[in-house]
C-alpha cells in the first residue's frame, strides 16, 4: 500500500522533479507532484509525494519536516484524504462582498450609506 505525504511551504521555483529528488533517498517514490495554478502554471507552494513503503514515508516525515529548502521552512506530514465537495453554486448569489451602495457590508466607515436612518 502507498502512503501519500503533503509537502507545504515549498519555494515557488521547486519543480516536481526536484521534489522527487528530495524524497528518493528515503525509499521508492511512486509519484511526486508540485501543485500549480491551472491558469498561470505557477507553483502554489505545496505538493504531494507517494511512497511504496510506509516505513520510508514515515522516515521522510521525521527527517524533512521543519527543514529549510531554498530559504523556506517546509512542512512534511501524512496527507489527509481529500474531502468530498458539494456541487458548486454559480447562481449570482449576492450574500457576500459589497452591497449596491458601494461599501463592504461589514465596514461601517466607508461607502455611501444614504444618511441617517
Is residue 74 pLDDT above 80, yes or no?
yes
CA 12 – CA 84 distance, rounded (Å)? 28
Nearest to 49 by CA among 15, 20, 28, 84: 20
Helix count (H) and strand count (E) of the chain?
A: 2, 6
Instruction: Quote the longest CA-to-CA distance of the chain.
Output: 69
From first CA to last CA, the distance across the chain in angstroms is 65
Gyration radius of the chain over CA positions? 22
Indicate yes or no: pTM above 0.75.
no
Report pLDDT for 87: 85
Report pLDDT for 98: 57
Rounded to 10 deg, the angle between the 16-23 and 54-64 helix axes is 100
Between 20-29, 46-55, 58-67, 99-108, the lowest mean confidence (pLDDT) is in 99-108
- Give 80-112 pLDDT, tens digit per residue: 987 888 887 776 655 555 555 555 555 555 555
Cell (9 digits) for 18: 526536484
Mean pLDDT of the chain: 86
* pLDDT, mean of residues 38-63: 96
- Domains of the chain plus CATH, in order, are 3-78 (3.30.70.330)
Amino acid at each position: 500500500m502507498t502512503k501519500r505525504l503533503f509537502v507545504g511551504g515549498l519555494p515557488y521555483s521547486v519543480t516536481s522533479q526536484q521534489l522527487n529528488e528530495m524524497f528518493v533517498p528515503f525509499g521508492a517514490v511512486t509519484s511526486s507532484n508540485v501543485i500549480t495554478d491551472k491558469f498561470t502554471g505557477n507553483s502554489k507552494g505545496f505538493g504531494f509525494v507517494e511512497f511504496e513503503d510506509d516505513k520510508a514515508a514515515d522516515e521522510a516525515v521525521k527527517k524533512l519536516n521543519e527543514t529549510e529548502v531554498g530559504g523556506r521552512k517546509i512542512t512534511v506530514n501524512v496527507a489527509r484524504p481529500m474531502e468530498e465537495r458539494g456541487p458548486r453554486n454559480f447562481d449570482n448569489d449576492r450574500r457576500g462582498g459589497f452591497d449596491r451602495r458601494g461599501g463592504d457590508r461589514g465596514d461601517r466607515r466607508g461607502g455611501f450609506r444614504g444618511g441617517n436612518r
